Amino acid sequence: MKDAPTADQRDVVLALPIETLQDMAIRAYMRPPDRLLLTLLRSPRVRRVVVAEPFRSHLGTVLRGGRSTVLPPSGGVEGHLVSPQRWRRKDPVTLPSLRAAYRRYDRRLGRAAARAGCKRPVVITMYPPLAGFADMSWAGSVMYYARDDWATYPPLRRWHPAFRHAYEEIRRRRLPVIAVSRPLLERLHPTGAGPTGAGLVVHNGVDPAEWLRPPSPPDWLRRLPRPWCVYAGTVDTRLDLDMIRRLASAGTVILAGPIPDEASVRSLRLLRSVRLPGHLPRPAVTGLIAAADVCLLTHRSTPLTEAMDPIKIYEYLAAGRPVLATDLAPVRGIGRRVRLLRPGDDPVAAMNEVLIWPAVTEADRLDFVADNSWSARHVAFLDFVLGPAAPAESRLLAVQP
């Protein structure tokens, strides 16, 4: 039986950025918006959650055969879904049209929250145009959750000027900001109220259920020469291809993840010691990471990567693997088993160095998993968004699976 709501429970509206619930389910709820949704649906501090998907076109919905997505199971929290539709597929690029689009979205969202019975809800948005351009006078408070610097994301280059305008509006309106890294928070220069007076850094995390006993790797891995150098994530222009080639001269490099632009990896497909298996089921990814001899975070240094907080580095360390990572501010100090690659470093020599490091103890590995779990991260997140919780409630959230 569902517990009766308490007076201090809050209503929350979670506005998703550019992904739908279906996208989340396909990737096994492993990215920051996905994990936040799961936390909200299980939190004793939340009465109801309205999940707002991004705009989708009427035609696209018809071509997909209608909408059949449902919210994931909750822990007693009342869940509602709103899926705004429009005729156009993509956002307008011009600033006036984009403002108008997200003011329309705002009105629809406000009506949906009212129908769900929300009383002055907390709105959490992860998309700059909604945070910057929507009025949201119906909300009790509005908070911007920054997972990346959208104004540096190459696939959305046409909207970069609009994103920068949205950031200016976020600053002008003094919206509270949570960012996944200190460089990203400093780049946004938030001025909203909060425990720090300016915003809060909440790093990405891991799901202990995936890392307490990782599965075996795919069978094909064992047929490849060692050492196995594994990169798990989207294979795109962030990767330092020269570093990949040099590592491939001394081992097998497995780049496990979706490939948005085949042209960006064409030269790598010519190398016999580079494997590009594409998108893999989540258990195959965790099995690959756990079996790796060394894990890779070999990104180029760009405005995008200099503000990121890559989930993969926490997953690598949760598996107890040594890591080779480009020396970027967000990855410094994460763990002792990260070998930073500075300009001029020889990646092959660095790989040989980490291959002879002592293995991490199982106790230390499990401590890292617990300390860096999503539920532990979200204690501070919910305190910032909803106000400090009673100690018992904080302990309950921190031990959630």
pTM for the full model? 0.90
Q: Cα–Cα distance between 86 and 130 in angstroms, integer?
A: 16
For residues 357-371, average pLDDT: 97
Q: Which of 96, 116, 94 is nearest to 46 (CA)?
A: 116
- For each of the domains in the chain, give its residue range(s) and CATH number, in order of start: 10-205+373-398 (3.40.50.2000), 208-364 (3.40.50.2000)
- The whole-number pLDDT of residue 87 equals 84
| Structure tokens that stand for 161 in this block | 């000027």
- The whole-number pLDDT of residue 395 equals 47
- The whole-number pLDDT of residue 273 equals 97
Is 206 within 8 Å of 312 (Cβ atoms)? no
Count of helix runs (H) and strand runs (E) in the chain: 15, 15
Mean pLDDT of the chain: 91
- Asked whether residue 230 carries a pLDDT value surpassing 80, the answer given is yes
Q: In what order do the strands lie in the sheet with 228-232?
A: 274-275, 252-256, 228-232, 294-297, 323-326, 338-341
Q: Cα–Cα distance between 336 and 127 in angstroms, integer?
A: 34
Q: How confident is the model at residue 298 (pLDDT cuts 50, 70, 90)?
A: very high
The angle that helices 311-318 and 282-291 make with each other, rounded to 10 degrees, is 60
Residue-wise pLDDT tens digits, 157-184: 999 999 999 999 999 999 999 999 999 9
The angle that helices 311-318 and 362-371 make with each other, rounded to 10 degrees, is 150
Q: Give the angle subtended at the CA of 256 by the CAs of 251 and 261, to the nearest 5°.
A: 110
- Asked whether residue 189 carries a pLDDT value surpassing 80, the answer given is no
- The whole-number pLDDT of residue 390 equals 60
Worst-scoring range by mean pLDDT, 51-60, 201-210, 243-252, 350-359? 51-60
Is 295 within 8 Å of 320 (Cβ atoms)? no
CB atoms within 10 A of CB 181: 25
Q: Cα–Cα distance between 167 and 99 in angstroms, integer?
A: 13
Q: How confident is the model at residue 353 (pLDDT cuts 50, 70, 90)?
A: very high
Q: How confident is the model at residue 200 (pLDDT cuts 50, 70, 90)?
A: very high
